[in-house]
Amino acid sequence: MTEQIKRKLQDEINALEHELVHELPKEIKKAAALGDLSENAEYHMAKQRQEFVKARVRQLGKRLADLSMVNMNNIPKDKGWPGLDGKGLRQHQK
């Protein structure tokens, strides 16, 4: 299960890094060419998106690193946990 989660996190990181390296610089350059940057909404939106993507990549990278430290073999499988059913799935609250 952790391999699936790691793969999903890495896939999202790859997609965001592609956007950060290839797509956003083009958008920023295109918006900057429109003129006065102080009143250029497209430029500011592209820069905000760039900052968001950078933060998200950092967040996912940390989560991936934290997940890599989890050893699933050390987690007891014969004990229940609050909020989980007997199969390790979350119970829905009513």
Mean pLDDT of 63-73: 82
C-alpha–C-alpha distance, residues 23 and 46, integer Å: 10
Q: Are 47 and 28 in contact (CB under 8 A)?
A: yes
Burial of 48 (0-12, 13-18, 19+ CB in 10 A): exposed
| Domains of the chain in sequence order | 2-70 (1.10.287.180)
Instruction: Share the mean pLDDT of the chain.
Output: 85
Residue 59 identity (one-letter amino acid): Q
Token pair, residue 46, equals 């592209």
What band does 90 get if pLDDT is binned at 50, 70 and 90?
A: low
Cα separation, 15 vs 29, whole angstroms: 20
Q: What is the tens place of the pLDDT at every residue in 14-37?
A: 999 999 999 999 999 999 998 888
